[in-house]
Structures are given as C-alpha cells and as structure tokens.
C-alpha cells in the first residue's frame, strides 16, 4: 500500500509542478461533479416523498434541483476532463524526456547491455505512453470518489446507523483487486523479454536495412512463426494471470453483493415495520448502488495506481542503475592542450556479465601530437580500446591517463566535448545535410562555412553538390521529402561530423570508412592526417586510426598491433617490418593481394 500511496503523492507533485492553475481549476470542477451524485440521491428521496404526499410546488422545485444537479454532474466532469487530460500529457512528457535523458545522459553505456535494463525500459516505455492519461483520470476520479464516499456514508448513517457496514464491505473487493493486479503486473514483467523479442522481429520486418536480406534469405515465414511463438508465450502467460486475477476480483464482488442485499433488506424490513419511509427505501437502494459503483471504481483506480507505482519503481531502478548525472562526477577540467599525451597503465577490461578479458595488461604511451594506428584481427579489442578512451566504460583494472591525470577524474561532459570520434557503427541523423554534419560541433550547428570546410576535409563536398537543396536537403527515408544517401555517402557525412570540432585533444576514427574502397580510404585518411597534424600542432592532439587496411595504417607515427587480448607489438611501420613479427606477416599478406 505504501508504494501506491507514494505513487499518488509523486503524481500529485508532478501535476503541481507542471501547471498548478490547471490543477486547481480542474479540482474545483471535480468537487462540484463529485458532490452532485450523492446530493442527487438525497433530493430524489425527498422528491419521492413529495410525490407520494402530492405536494405539487415542492415536486416542481425538487425536480428542477435534480435537473440542475444532473447537469453539474455531467458537465463538471466533462470540463475537468479536458483540463486534466492536458495536464497529464504535459506531466508525462517530462517523464518521457527523463527517459531519453536516462538512456543517453550518462557517461557510460554499460547499462545498454544489461538485459534487465532492456526489459524494464521496454515495459516503462509502453507504460508511460499508456498511463499518461489513465493515471491522471485515476487521480481525478479518486478525488471525486473520496468526496462521493464521504457523502454517501453520511447519508447512509443518517438513514440507519447499521448501514455503516456497507462502505466497509468494499474492503474485500478492493484488497482482492489489489492482489489481482499484483499477479498481472508480475506476469507483465516476466513476459518482457518475449515482448522485446516480438518487437525485435517487427523492427526487422519493417526495417529498410533488413529488407534485402529477408528477401534473399527467404526469412519471412521464419520471422512470422517466431513472432507468433513469442506472442503465444505472452498471451498464454497473460491469459493465465488474467484468469487468476478475475477469480479474485469476482470473489471480492460477491462478498460485496452479499452486504448490498443485506443492507437493502434491512431498510425494506424497517419500512414494512413502519420504522422507515418509502423515500428511505429509495434512498438506500440508490446509495447502496452508488457504494457498489464506488467499490468498482475504487478497484479500477487502485489497479491504475498500482501500475503507476510499478512504473515509477522501474523509473527509480533505472535511475539508480544509470547512476549519477555525469556533470556532478568531477570538476577537474579536461586539458585543452596535450604535452605528454595518453598513458595506459596495466589496463585490463572485461564486459559486464563476462569474466573473459577483452583487453589484458595493456601498457601504452600515445604521445601528444602523434598519429596512432591500431590493427588486429576481428574481435581483438580495437573498438573496446576506443570505447575506454572515450570513457564509455572504465577499465576493470589499471588506469588511462591524459597528461598524468586519470581520465575518469575529469569532468566527463568536458571530456566528451574535448574529443572527436567517427564510430564504426555511426548514426544516420536524418536532418538536413548541413545539420547532419553540423551536429559534430553543436555551437556551430548552422555555421555554413564550418560545415563546408568539414565536408571539404573529408572529400564529401561533391555529395552535397548533387543534393537538390544542397546543405538544406533533408536526408533519409523517414520523411517524404528526404533524400536517401548510399552507405559510403552516409559514412562521409559522419566523417565530416568528426571534422567539425576545432581543437579536439583526441581524434578517433574507428573504421568509419569500411564502405569506401582502399584507394578512397587511403586518400581520405591522408587528407585527414594532414588536418590532424595541424590540430596536433595547435593542441598536441592524438589521432587514433583503427583500420584493417595496412596501406592506410602505415602512415601512422605509431602502430599498435592487438592480438590475444593484449598489445602484441608496437612501433613505426619501418620498425615493425624490420622486426618481422605479426604486423610484418599480415602486411605482406595484404600487400600480396594487391600485387
Ligand atoms: N558490448 C559488449 N558486450 C560483451 N562483449 C563485447 C561487447 N562488445 C564487444 N564485445 C566482445 O569483445 C571482444 C572485442 O570486441 P571489439 O569490438 O573490441 O573488437 P574489434 O577488434 O574492434 O573487432 P572488429 O575488427 O571486428 O571490429 C569481442 O570478443 C566481442 O565479442
């Protein structure tokens, strides 16, 4: 019960901070509407007596009063509904915003690989969309219900003090309803991974990127049967839970029905013995029906609040997992100019949930101003090393220092704005071409000259020249006026982004040119290297190139060869060839392919 009450308090606080004026007006309308129903019952009782005693003028007055109360009851709710619906949308928009913030506002990305996180965020996202209006409706109805219950109880007790047991008879259905909701909620959480699997299949089936493979591999019916399998699991689980919940709810309602019949018989008997009037009988029948209605509403509202409590509990769990807001972690500023560069000291790393080290005892010095190439077979740990340098993960042991300071002691937001990275799995921002590149340096998002220079440096200006509205052309398929680019063109736009920041201290290119041919990649990296050297002279920046193409990597000042989860060799191209080790043999192998 405590969690439900806490959820109601949180919801009320959310409404208050969102728009207190709307909250107060909606509340007043709701009060009028809530009071209208029991007062109507009272007036109906008097009206019945006036009719039976044939008091025409009283009948007329009471009839008008009943009409007025009915109008208030109907319209008050209607207007209040408009207000609290809007208030709900505003309030839950802020929670949606928090969800985006929690997913992407943290320094690290480890939570994205946590299965429980994925399950909970799936449920949370679905629930936030659903409860945005439902919870608000529940909040208002619970206020109206509370007023209604007080009025109804007072009228019942006034008619016959024994009838006090009727409002108490709502407890069994309410408590059993609560238990029923618990059963459904735990089932929903148990089914979350099936829901996610089904959603993944739908995404695959709808997605443009998978459309080609699905056709060639003939995977349509396999997807259909796997989707059906997931849904069968979900519906079987939910059906059983719903069945158990229904049994509990019906049991609660039956208990109340017994009390209802007993209450009615009590007044009928009193009327037969002339201890109560016909009006009293009508009043009690109407009130008992209202108590029944209130109990049903109470169970529904409680169910809604319980779902809200579950949702808010998921939100709290995710907040705790994702951790503190990065800005509050540290106040040490990231260096704007490097003197020594980066040093990795005994760095080992394994991903969460695995004991197998992806990197082991890595000791490296990436000197300020150097261009560093990283090579190694698939899965050697190149991208992982890049992610550690970006601070998306912390080393399991060891430290990474920049100019003698552990990078994890730096303000992470500053660190992220001091580096520039082209990722292997880059994003396709479906914005205008100019902004797709401009987001590489947000303060200069719409700086046309800066964008053009960045595109020049990545040899991507010709792509924009061919677009119907140049930099103003919207890219991508999500919009009807969007222009789609080829894989290589998207990559060049992503590379342009990495060229936007003026003075990064670390430039990383993690195979962002895989869609380009070897010659194009070489030319591009050469140009990139020239720009990088200019940046390096100004800021002592380190440039890291990750590539499987040795023709590209050989231009680096320092080449690091990763093998067997650690650094197998490092040195210049000439030194590594002379050493005749792993690098030399891989280099020869690739060179032979081009002969
Ligand atoms: N998020 C993750 N969770 C668990 N294991 C991971 C994760 N990312 C990578 N790995 C594992 O870590 C190892 C190194 O992966 P990494 O992506 O760093 O290799 P790589 O050298 O960049 O490979 P490639 O050349 O294929 O891009 C692999 O065995 C991979 O399965």
Whether 177 and 40 share a structural domain:
yes
**Best residue for ligand 1 mutational test, from 117, 382, 425, 549 (most atoms within 8 Å of Cβ):** 382
For 211, the token pair is 């459309």
Whether 58 and 162 share a structural domain:
yes
Whether 260 and 383 share a structural domain:
no
Whether residue 577 lies inside any domain: the answer is no
Q: Cα(95)–Cα(14) distance, rounded to whole angstroms?
A: 9
Q: Cα(419)–Cα(543) distance, rounded to whole angstroms?
A: 10
For 110, the token pair is 């480890």
**Best residue for ligand 1 mutational test, from 111, 354, 356, 379 (most atoms within 8 Å of Cβ):** 379
Protein residue whose Cα sits closest to atom 2 of ligand 1: 351
Burial class (CB in 10 A: 0-12, 13-18, 19+), 19: middle
The CB of 382 under 6 Å from ligand 1? The reply is yes
The CB of 306 under 6 Å from ligand 1? The reply is no
CA of 385 relative to ligand 1 center, distance in Å:
10
Whether 488 and 510 share a structural domain:
no
Q: What is the pLDDT of residues 411-454, one digit of tens each?
A: 888 888 889 998 888 888 888 999 999 999 989 988 999 999 99
ipTM: 0.97
Q: How many domains does the chain have?
A: 3
Whether residue 587 lies inside any domain: the answer is no
Domain range for 405 is 326-418+505-569
- Per-residue pLDDT tens digits of the chain, which is 595 residues long: 677 788 888 888 888 888 888 888 888 887 777 778 778 878 888 888 888 887 888 888 888 988 888 887 777 777 777 777 787 777 777 777 777 777 776 667 777 767 777 777 777 777 777 776 677 778 777 877 887 888 888 888 888 888 888 888 888 888 888 888 889 888 888 888 788 788 888 888 877 677 777 877 788 888 888 889 988 988 898 899 999 999 998 998 889 888 888 888 888 888 888 877 888 888 888 888 888 788 788 878 887 888 888 888 888 888 887 765 444 455 677 888 899 999 999 999 998 878 889 999 999 999 998 999 999 988 899 999 999 999 988 999 999 999 999 998 888 888 888 899 988 888 888 889 999 999 999 899 889 999 999 998 888 888 999 999 999 999 987 777 788 888 888 888 998 999 898 888 999 988 866 666 667 777 777 777 777 677 677 778 899 999 888 888 888 899 999 998 899 999 999 999 999 988 998 888 876 665 4
Residues with Cβ within 8 Å of 411's Cβ and at least 6 positions away in sequence, in order, are 326, 327, 329, 330, 331, 332, 333, 334
Whether residue 581 lies inside any domain: the answer is no
Domain CATH number, residue 222 = 1.20.1560.10
Q: 405 by DSSP, 3-state: which?
A: strand
Among 296, 323, 350, which residue terminates a domain? 323
Whether 134 and 94 share a structural domain:
yes
For 463, the token pair is 């792509």
pLDDT at residue 328, rounded to an integer: 44
Q: Which one, of 387, 391, 422, lies nearest residue 528 by Cα?
A: 422
Whether 47 and 151 share a structural domain:
yes
**Best residue for ligand 1 mutational test, from 381, 421, 548, 567 (most atoms within 8 Å of Cβ):** 381
Among 323, 343, 366, which residue terminates a domain? 323
For 185, the token pair is 């909620």
The CB of 231 under 6 Å from ligand 1? The reply is no
Q: Cα(98)–Cα(106) distance, rounded to whole angstroms?
A: 12
Q: Cα(150)–Cα(158) distance, rounded to whole angstroms?
A: 12
Whether 99 and 222 share a structural domain:
yes
The CB of 549 under 6 Å from ligand 1? The reply is no
Whether residue 585 lies inside any domain: the answer is no
Among 503, 522, 551, which residue terminates a domain? 503
The CB of 352 under 6 Å from ligand 1? The reply is no
Whether residue 337 lies inside any domain: the answer is yes
Whether 274 and 347 share a structural domain:
no
Q: Cα(321)–Cα(328) distance, rounded to whole angstroms?
A: 16
Whether 453 and 411 share a structural domain:
no
Task: Let me know: does 138 contact 82? Beta carbons within 8 Å.
Answer: no
Domain CATH number, residue 369 = 3.40.50.300
Whether residue 104 lies inside any domain: the answer is yes
Whether 182 and 261 share a structural domain:
yes
Whether residue 593 lies inside any domain: the answer is no
Whether 172 and 273 share a structural domain:
yes
CA of 486 relative to ligand 1 center, distance in Å:
26
Whether residue 354 lies inside any domain: the answer is yes
Whether 385 and 457 share a structural domain:
no
Q: 314 by DSSP, 3-state: which?
A: helix
């Amino acid at each position: 019960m405590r969690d439900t009450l806490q959820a109601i308090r949180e919801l009320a606080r959310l409404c208050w901070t969102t728009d207190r004026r709307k909250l107060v007006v909606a509340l007043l309308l709701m009060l009028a509407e809530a009071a209208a129903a029991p007062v109507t019952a009272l007036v109906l009782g008097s009206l019945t007596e006036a009719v039976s005693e044939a008091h025409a003028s009283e009948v007329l007055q009471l009839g008008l009063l009943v009409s007025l109360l009915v109008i208030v009851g109907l319209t008050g709710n209607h207007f209040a509904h408009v207000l609290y619906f809007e208030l709900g949308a505003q309030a839950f928009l802020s929670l949606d915003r928090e969800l985006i913030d929690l997913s992407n506002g943290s320094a690290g990305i480890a939570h994205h690989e946590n299965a429980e996180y994925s399950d909970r965020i799936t449920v949370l996202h679905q629930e936030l969309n659903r409860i945005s209006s439902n919870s608000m409706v529940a909040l208002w109805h619970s206020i109206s219900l509370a007023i209604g219950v007080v009025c109804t109880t007072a009228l019942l007790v006034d008619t016959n003090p024994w009838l006090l047991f009727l409002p108490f008879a709502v407890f069994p259905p309410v408590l059993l309803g609560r238990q029923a909701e618990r059963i459904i909620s735990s089932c929903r959480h148990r089914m979350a991974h099936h829901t996610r699997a089904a959603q993944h299949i739908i995404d695959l089936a709808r997605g443009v990127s998978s459309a080609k493979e699905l056709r060639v591999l003939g995977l349509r019916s396999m997807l259909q049967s796997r989707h059906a399998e997931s849904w069968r699991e979900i519906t079987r689980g939910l059906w059983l839970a719903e069945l158990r919940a229904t049994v509990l709810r019906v049991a609660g309602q039956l208990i109340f029905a017994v009390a209802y019949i007993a209450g009615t018989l009590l007044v009928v008997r009193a009327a037969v013995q002339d201890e109560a009037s016909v009006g009293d009988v009508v009043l009690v029948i109407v009130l008992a029906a209202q108590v029944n209605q209130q109990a049903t509403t109470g169970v529904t509202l409680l169910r809604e609040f319980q779902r809200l409590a579950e949702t808010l509990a998921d939100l709290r769990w995710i907040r705790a997992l994702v951790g503190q807001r990065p800005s509050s972690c540290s106040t040490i500023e990231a260096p704007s100019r490097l003197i020594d560069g980066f040093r990795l000291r005994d760095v080992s790393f394994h991903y969460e949930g695995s004991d197998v080290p992806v990197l082991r005892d890595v000791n490296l010095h990436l000197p300020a101003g150097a261009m560093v190439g990283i090579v190694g077979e698939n899965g050697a740990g190149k991208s992982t090393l890049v992610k550690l340098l970006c601070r998306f993960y912390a080393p399991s042991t060891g430290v990474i220092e920049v100019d003698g300071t552990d990078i994890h002691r730096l303000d992470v937001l500053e660190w992220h704005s001091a580096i520039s990275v082209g990722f292997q799995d880059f994003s396709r921002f479906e914005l205008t071409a100019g902004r797709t590149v401009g987001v590489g340096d947000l303060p200069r998002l719409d700086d046309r000259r800066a964008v053009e220079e960045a595109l020049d440096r990545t040899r991507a200006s010709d792509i924009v020249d061919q677009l119907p509205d140049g930099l103003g052309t919207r890219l991508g398929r999500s919009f009807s006026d969007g222009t789609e680019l080829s894989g290589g063109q998207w990559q060049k736009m992503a590379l342009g982004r990495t060229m936007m920041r003026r003075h990064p201290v670390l430039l990383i290119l993690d195979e962002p040119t895989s869609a380009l041919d070897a010659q194009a990649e070489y030319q591009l990296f050469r140009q990139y290297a020239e720009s990088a050297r200019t940046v390096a002279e100004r800021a002592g920046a380190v440039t890291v190139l990750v590539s499987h193409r040795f023709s590209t990597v050989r231009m680096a000042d320092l080449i690091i060869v990763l093998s067997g989860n650690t650094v197998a060799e490092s040195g210049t191209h000439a030194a590594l060839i002379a050493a005749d080790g792993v690098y030399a043999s891989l280099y020869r192998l690739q060179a032979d392919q081009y002969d």
